[in-house]
Structure 1
Amino acid sequence: MTTRSEWIPPNVDETQPSGARTYDFLLGGAHNFEVDRVMAEKVKQAVPGIQEAARINRAFLGRAVRFMISQGVRQFLDVGSGIPTVGNVHEVAQHADPECRVVYVDRERVAVAHSELMLAANDRADIVHADFRDPDSILNSSQVRRLLNFDEPIGLLFLLVLHWVPDDSIGLLARYRDAAPSGSYLAITHMTADAQQDKISDVAGIVNRSRADGNVFPRAYEEIAAMFGDFELIEPGLVATGNWRPAGPGDLAKDAEMNQLSYAGIARKP
């Protein structure tokens, strides 16, 4: 059993909320602080059912990884991976093929500490403690150099992380897309206000006023679609997250509105 002292690194400020830890709480995780739970409760009051939206994003992660594996991908870079919970990339991928290799990236120290504990005995998975806005530090890290072969297709995952980037998210993603070889896949989920503008504006306001570890920038369909660059979108294209190839009722929120809070898509590099 993991003790509190093991998953809380030294000098973590427990008085400031974290997006990663708040998301962990919404998913039912235990690696969060009181300040994160307070922010999550405010978000839940503004958008009742938002836990369902978090859950369907997690369900999409599993579908995305399984789809990429079905296309021959055996290595993954999960950028902005967050705090590990049920159904992590390496669990899904290595269940399908134990030879799969996974590198996680996160800047949240609790996420990194807990990931290191989880992956200690797994020589085919590792985590990089870095800000995803510095692609070179990630792509040149010892973990990436050890586990990922850029002569073979790679599965890139950016799930509910790009809405923390205020401006040049397209230029930022271009560095990752350029590094990936032909046949690689890019999966993105991103918060949007297209269908639920008032609710998403309320959520953004709560997060942005909380003095958390960043501000939220919801984007419109066209802005998110542009993030795929010249990669070719896989059917059904960029859609509401719950509508990307649901495999069963559990992949959709019971409240149809919660399926509309984010877009999801997967694209292939020609």
Structure 2
Amino acid sequence: MGESKSEAFPLEGVDLDHPNVARVYDYYLGGNANYAVDRVFGEKALERYPFVRPAALANRLFLYRVVRYLVKRGIRQFVDIGSGVPTMGSTHQVADEVAPDSHVVYIDNEAVAVAHSRILLEQQEVTDRHAVLQADLRDPDELWEQIAASGVIDPDQPVALLLIAVLHVTQPGADGTDCGPEVVARYRELLNSGSYLVISHGTDDDVPESRVREMADFGRMYDYSATPVLWRSHEEIDALFGDLPLVEPGTTWTPLWHPEESDDNAPVIDFDEPNDSVVWAGVAYKP
């Protein structure tokens, strides 16, 4: 399997006894910000469920198209919560290609993801416009204060809040149950006028019956990881946007959201049907 760059700098507080969803996702996408425990898990998952890698790639390409779309509509500030590790490019790189005055704050609670992101920004010498915070998305008010204190984001100006493939990672509240929907509701309140909310989320709704079974088994694999996952229905994902109006075409499968925003060099993913992507996504606007 070989050694990844992550092994080159062991970090305090990193759980190496269990695979982590951010690092495994990095492995699915061909990155090197992962450990042996993540690669063993990822290899086993891909052997059993080969749909996972193209689904992960389609989700990443959705992020790229969203950033380009929003930059064209005047957005220059991005808050990427649960940003993971900088595999296949990252939010600030896509934004900077079309708007060099863009500002991005990455947030993750995983030490490896944060460390790799900071190294990337320092190497590119862009820390005047982009920052990385290690924080917990379950505390929106504290996180929003940290974002404002970073000096990178002007809280009085519109932002794009990105929640890309993070809400299907279980967010246990004080009672142990998932608190994702109530947390997102608070983020909707914190967004100021002119902002956008972007969500992508794994789902076993309206997928082939064989895929439903695969996703159930795949999800159970994560029950033994440090980051269990859950799949929501289309209706439950749509509800995360509250009463914010959705950008056309509304919520849909990731490959169907504004494909015209694809980069000329973007890889082509040959799904038999769009629902093979197993990720439901959308963008909403706060008037």
SS in 1 for 2:151: helix
Summarize the alignment of residues 2-81 of structure 1 with structure 2, pairs less than 5 Å apart: 4=6, 7-81=9-83
**TM-score, normalized by length of structure 1?**
0.92
Identify which of 243, 264, 268 aligns with 2:281.
264
- Please point out which of 187, 196, 218 is paired with 2:198: 187
Corresponding pairs, count = 267
Whether 1:224 aligns to 2:237 is yes
Change (3 A) 1:150 1:175: same
Question: What are the ranges of 5 or more consecutive residues in structure 1 without an aligned counterpart?
Answer: none
The runs of 4+ residues in structure 1 deviating greater than 6 Å are none
Question: What is the RMSD of the two structures over their aligned residues, measured on CA atoms?
Answer: 2.0
Within 5 Å, which residues of 2 pair with 1:108-257?
108-120=110-122, 121-122=125-126, 123-141=128-146, 145-164=150-169, 165=171, 167-194=178-205, 195=207, 196-208=211-223, 210=224, 212-247=225-260, 250=266, 253-256=269-272
Cα pair 1:56 1:252 within 8 Å, conserved = no
Tell me the alpha carbon deviations over residues 120-162 of structure 1, each in whole angstroms, 9 at most, x when there is no partner. 2211000110111111221011665411122211001000000
CA-CA distance at 1:255 after TM superposition: 2.8
Which moved further from structure 2: 12-21 or 69-78?
12-21
Conserved 8 A contact 2:104-2:129: yes
Letter in 2 for 1:112: V
Aligned with 1:141: secondary structure? helix
Q: Percent identity?
A: 40
Name the CA distance, whole Å, in 2 between partners of 1:252 and 1:79: 26
Q: Deviations over 1:177-220 (max 9, x none)?
A: 11111111111110001113111101101111x2x222101000
Paired residue secondary structure (1:72):
coil
Question: C-alpha separation between the residues in 2 aligned to 1:49 and 1:82?
Answer: 20
User: 2:174: which partner in 1?
Assistant: none
Deviation at 1:245, TM superposition (A): 1.5
Deviation (angstroms), 1:103? 0.2
Aligned match of 1:86: 88
Unaligned runs of 5+ in 2: 172-176
- Identify the range of structure 1 (246-255 vs 117-126) with the bigger mean alpha-carbon deviation: 246-255
